[in-house]
Chains A and B, each alone.
Chain A
């Protein structure tokens, strides 16, 4: 398999690193080599953050370069849009239909229009926040829901078992059930 390149894009404080760790562990569980790169510090203060994740037979560089992502996981719609520079015509975008405003003069509608026109048919806008809030009463697990969506729709070459095992290994006992539920919930929705 050619190395699979993922960009997780979101806003500092959205739990990108936990999601990154789950996918990395799942890739290792699936028998792949894996490398990731993340940023801490200043950018974590509600700024744009992205983590890079690559897995395959043998991975050297931890960075996904512009134009080379296979999958963009957008935890927020603006940041999903911002990640278009990592995309090529084949890149799949799985983006949480959730908007964290940051400038008065840009509306969610505008961003939506922008991302739809740049990504086109490769865009999957998923109501992850809304569904998690409604069905689990917790928006925080929307990123795990999004991951479930990718796995069950086979948009990421990882098996559900490898991912569930990774979730068990990484999430603390207290939140484990909730996260497992969020992951599996994505299987019951279309």
Chain B
């Protein structure tokens, strides 16, 4: 056994390697990026295959191919990634896996580094009927990853490992086996044809659904006995108990200690399927229960249903005391417990600094500085600016303030297309190179095909920067740092049918001025590729060169 301080994400990598993973795919996002990167950094040394895929749907499908060929796989993504890959996630539940597969999804309660929405991805477990485990800290992240592979192999199902920012980016001393890992990928898999198993063609698909429902019943039985779910504490006070999961459990433990209480706590490590009988047994002797869960009240609803079904006389506390918005902490739990137990709650006195926010900013020397100011200056009054995901979403904050809408990867173009079709206004969509490869291409094809005169500004900084500088298809290097074909954005854009294309350096203001004005008067879709390397990347490359000399 070894003991080291590990980040939650590092603990997942360690657990998966020990479980024998040999195929890893994913798309970088915050707070999950260190998982994919962790595998890529050791891939060559450990003899595994790892890649940054072009988006999460592709990543999942890639891993499905590996699983069907008999290799243990792991897919990593942030919360919204599961939306992108859900199209293949659902049929995957039907076919099941062959070799073990774990899908890591990292949510970001409080939206520390996420635009879009405060998504609680646990809902996908119900939608797709895929078992989901939820660790609370790095130690559990390590253990649950290994257990997730056990469940996956035992039941031929993918397992979702759902984490949140405070698990992914939590550090603690982790005990791990640290056995010498030799996963030896080296194309040792074999795809054995089995149409009945891998093809969801109807009418087979409905049989598959039946098989899936039976499988979930079996996993429910397993959940009743699994050590992933545990009860701690004793029954000493007011017949109150707590049900919790994920990092919320740590806040519960902390709150109980600070309040000097020893209440029974049911900690759910396996979120789906829930161990109904065990929960029932836990609730029976209680008069009150607090469901302490972060973001959406999924467990609370399940508990309500169980209580109703079994006719238990029990008061359930949850949402009215624990907010649905933002992450939890021990103080919020203390507040809830004090209310339930009618103990006086001493609110800590908080002094506010009332300082204005220090917004995140583009790095100094970032090529987006001149690009944003050119777009702002040279577009006519009233132009609508569509934002997209990546460093370029900072166009929405001061001093740029050019962002009229912001949604999801690639959406700047399609929403702009809709606006153009509905109005006579001009739209400029602003998107980075990584996002263009991820989801921008179909949107661009659509606006060409359906004849929209949007101007798409692709800010090609030669890397996927925001999430910590990961390789993308425009770079001529893949995630494992091997040389690979360099895809030229201007060629892709041309192949999409765009006639008005220009590649301009963001420092060439004169040409930007002329081109923006020219393209905004066109009848068809136009694209300006503003190309200049990310300043941070350039600095790093220079440093590396110096060190090599």
Q: Residues of A with Cβ closer than 8 Å to B?
A: 11-12, 20-21, 24-25, 28, 33-48, 59-63, 65-68, 78-79, 81-85, 87-88, 102-103, 106, 111, 114, 118
Q: Is the CB of A21 within 8 A of B361?
A: no
User: What are the residues of chain B within 8 A of A111 when measuring CB–CB?
Assistant: 355
Give complex CA distance A141, B247 in Å: 33
Q: Is the CB of B348 within 8 A of A88?
A: yes
Give complex CA distance A43, B360 in Å: 6
Q: Tell which of B114, B359, B360 has the most Cβ of chain A within 10 Å.
A: B360
Q: Which of B30, B171, B331, B351 meets A87, CB within 8 Å?
A: B351
Give complex CA distance A103, B355 in Å: 11
Q: Tell which of B349, B355, B356, B466 has the most Cβ of chain A within 10 Å.
A: B355
In the complex, number of A-B residue pairs with CB atoms less than 8 Å apart: 141
Q: Tell which of A46, A62, A87 has the most Cβ of chain B within 10 Å.
A: A62
User: What are the residues of chain A within 8 A of B532 when measuring CB–CB?
Assistant: none
In the complex where A60-B257, A68-B348, A88-B349 touch, is A43 in contact with B170 (Cβ < 8 A)?
no
User: What are the residues of chain A within 8 A of B170 when measuring CB–CB?
Assistant: 35-37, 62
Q: Is the CB of B466 within 8 A of A47?
A: no
5 nearest A-B pairs in the assembled complex, by CB-CB distance: A41-B113, A41-B30, A67-B348, A47-B360, A45-B360
Pull 10 A–B residue pairs with CB atoms less than 8 Å apart, ordered by A: A35-B172, A41-B31, A46-B358, A47-B358, A65-B329, A65-B331, A65-B348, A85-B351, A85-B353, A87-B351
User: What are the residues of chain A within 8 A of B165 when measuring CB–CB?
Assistant: 39
Q: Residues of B with Cβ closer than 8 Å to A?
A: 5, 30-31, 33-34, 112-114, 137, 165-166, 169-173, 247, 250-251, 253-254, 257, 329-331, 348-353, 355-363, 391, 394, 466-468
User: What are the residues of chain A within 8 A of B34 when measuring CB–CB?
Assistant: 40
User: What are the residues of chain A within 8 A of B172 when measuring CB–CB?
Assistant: 33-36, 59, 62
In the complex where A35-B172, A63-B329 touch, is A40 in contact with B353 (Cβ < 8 A)?
no
Give complex CA distance A59, B5 in Å: 14
Q: Is the CB of A66 within 8 A of B173?
A: no
Q: Which of B112, B253, B361 meets A45, CB within 8 Å?
A: B361
Q: Is the CB of B391 within 8 A of A48?
A: no
Give complex CA distance A21, B467 in Å: 21
Return A51 CB to nearest CB of chain B, in Å. Answer: 9
Give the dominant DSSP class at A's interface.
mixed
- Closest residue of chain A to B349 (Cβ to Cβ) is A67
In the complex where A60-B253, A61-B250, A67-B349 touch, is A40 in contact with B169 (Cβ < 8 A)?
yes
Return A96 CB to nearest CB of chain B, in Å. Answer: 16
User: What are the residues of chain B within 8 A of A59 when measuring CB–CB?
Assistant: 172
Q: Tell which of A41, A78, A106 has the most Cβ of chain B within 10 Å.
A: A41
Return A65 CB to nearest CB of chain B, in Å. Answer: 4
User: What are the residues of chain B within 8 A of A84 when measuring CB–CB?
Assistant: 351-353
Give complex CA distance A180, B467 in Å: 31
User: What are the residues of chain A within 8 A of B173 when measuring CB–CB?
Assistant: 28, 33-34
- Closest residue of chain B to A101 (Cβ to Cβ) is B358
Q: Which of A12, A28, A61, A85 meets B330, CB within 8 Å?
A: A61
Q: Tell which of A25, A63, A81 has the most Cβ of chain B within 10 Å.
A: A63
